[in-house]
């Protein structure tokens, strides 16, 4: 059996077409959704994520502005920028690109973002709302994973989803989303981490397996059961002398071997990644719609 390849690029393109129409409707009411991005330093991965966010915004008609700071900018300056963005009505949502340089407290910055403008959904108030099932901006990668599953015909409802990884940006919020008693969720969820004894025992039980560990080939074909749906969130750089940049991107799963056993699988790149950026645009549009009274 050769698995269906779940192409995040195609699903993301579809969602963006829907968002274009929603942005158009807002513009007819005189509202242009605005997204702010704060980038501190020049970490190559962060620069490439920020570029993708700006490109995606332009594509669907959102106003986007990136505020660049050198890596040695004092924390106080970044907090001041957050304060300005909190108060500026041009921006329906904004984010501070992570990771931040070590001298800046990520928690302090995130806690200072107004929860209503928290485009990444990382503020503790929104984390609490997510857990309680209340409306809030959803963390982009977990939201993207859910949309990818539902829109590809693999709704997690009633399924056993095994999430490998418990970070605050992927694993934990994804588990919180999946357990909600809601359409497109309502799954039975197991969360695995480095404290899990006998990881394959759990992964073999998955109807849907999500790998978010940041370890190349952490999940191999013998760790899943025939017919499992695999979502690979991992993005890892591995050296490749044949590549122009000297490296290539791989996920956390042994894609080639697993695609012969899985029912469906996401590639890396071109799987979850494009969905993450698209869900950020979704959060911005939803925030603008809420401000305009079009959403509750």
Ligand X SMILES: NC(=O)c1ccc[n+]([C@@H]2O[C@H](COP(=O)([O-])OP(=O)(O)OC[C@H]3O[C@@H](n4cnc5c(N)ncnc54)[C@H](OP(=O)(O)O)[C@@H]3O)[C@@H](O)[C@H]2O)c1
Instruction: Give the x/- contact pattern for ligand X in 59-88, rule: CB under 6 A.
Output: ------------------------------
- The count of residues interacting with ligand X (CB under 6 A) is 26
Nearest distance from residue 288's CB to ligand X, in Å?
Answer: 23
- Under the binding rule (CB under 6 A), the answer on residue 15 touching ligand X is no
262 phi and psi angles, rounded to 5 deg:
-80, 160
Decide if 117 contacts 283 (C-beta within 8 A): no
Does the footprint of ligand X cover residue 164 (CB under 6 A)?
A: yes
Subset of 140-159 contacting ligand X (CB under 6 A): 141
> What letter does residue 113 receive in the DSSP assignment?
S
Q: Judged by CB under 6 A, does residue 171 bind ligand X?
A: yes
Report d(CA 265, CA 231) in Å as an integer. 6
Q: What is the Cα Rg of the chain in Å?
A: 19
200 in contact with ligand X (CB under 6 A): no
| 40 neighbors 78 (Cβ within 8 angstroms) | yes
Q: Give the one residue of 136, 163, 177, 192 binding ligand X; rule: CB under 6 A.
A: 192
Catalytic residue (one of 53, 159, 259, 261): 53
For residues 208-224, one letter each, b for 16 or more C-beta atoms within 10 angstroms of the residue's C-beta and e for the rest, the string is: bbbbbbeebbbbebebb
* Cβ proximity to ligand X, 26 vs 219, nearer residue: 219
Q: Is beta strand 247-250 parallel, antiparallel or unpaired with respect to 236-239?
A: antiparallel
Phi and psi torsions of 69, nearest 5°: -125, 145
Q: Does 119 bind ligand X (CB under 6 A)?
A: no
265 vs 6: CA distance, rounded Å: 6
Identify which of residues 252 and 289 has a Cβ nearer to ligand X in the complex.
Answer: 252
Binding region for ligand X (CB under 6 A) out of 9-17, 104-112, 189-197, 282-290: 189-197
- Residue 120 annotated in active site: yes
CA torsion sign for 224, 226, 228, 230 is positive
24 is catalytic: no
97 catalytically annotated: yes
Measured distance CA(12)–CA(44) in Å, rounded: 23
Q: How far is the CB of 257 from ligand X (least distance, A)?
A: 18
Considering beta carbons, is residue 46 or 188 the nearer one to ligand X? 46
What does the binding site for ligand X look like in residue numbers (CB under 6 A)?
141, 164-167, 169-171, 192-196, 199, 212-215, 218, 233-236, 272-273, 276
Which amino acids are annotated catalytic? 53, 97, 120
């Amino acid at each position: 059996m050769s698995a269906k390849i779940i192409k995040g690029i195609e699903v993301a393109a579809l969602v963006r077409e829907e968002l274009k129409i929603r942005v158009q409707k807002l513009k007819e009411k005189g509202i242009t959704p605005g997204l702010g991005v704060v980038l501190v330093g020049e970490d190559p991965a962060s620069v490439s994520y920020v570029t993708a966010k700006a490109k995606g915004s332009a594509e669907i008609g959102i106003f986007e502005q990136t505020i660049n700071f050198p890596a040695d900018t004092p924390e106080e300056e970044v907090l001041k920028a957050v304060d300005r963005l909190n108060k500026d009505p041009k921006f329906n949502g904004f984010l501070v690109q992570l990771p931040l340089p070590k001298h800046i407290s990520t928690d302090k910055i995130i806690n200072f973002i107004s929860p209503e403008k928290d485009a990444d959904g990382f503020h503790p108030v929104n984390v609490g709302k997510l857990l309680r099932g209340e409306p809030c901006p959803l963390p982009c990668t977990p939201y993207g994973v859910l949309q990818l599953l539902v829109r590809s015909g693999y709704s997690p409802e009633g399924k056993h989803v095994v999430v490998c990884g418990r970070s605050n940006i992927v694993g934990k919020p994804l588990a919180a989303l999946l357990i909600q008693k809601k359409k497109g969720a309502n799954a039975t969820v197991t969360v695995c981490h480095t404290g899990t004894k006998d990881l394959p025992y759990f992964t073999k039980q998955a109807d849907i397996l999500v790998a978010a560990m940041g370890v190349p080939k952490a999940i191999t074909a013998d760790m899943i059961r025939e017919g499992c749906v695999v979502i690979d969130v991992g993005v890892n750089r591995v050296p490749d002398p044949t590549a122009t940049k000297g490296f290539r991107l791989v996920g956390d799963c042994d894609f080639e071997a697993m695609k012969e056993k899985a029912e469906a699988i996401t590639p890396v790149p071109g799987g979850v990644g494009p969905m993450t950026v698209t869900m950020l645009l979704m959060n911005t549009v939803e925030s603008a719609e809420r401000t305009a009274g079009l959403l509750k």
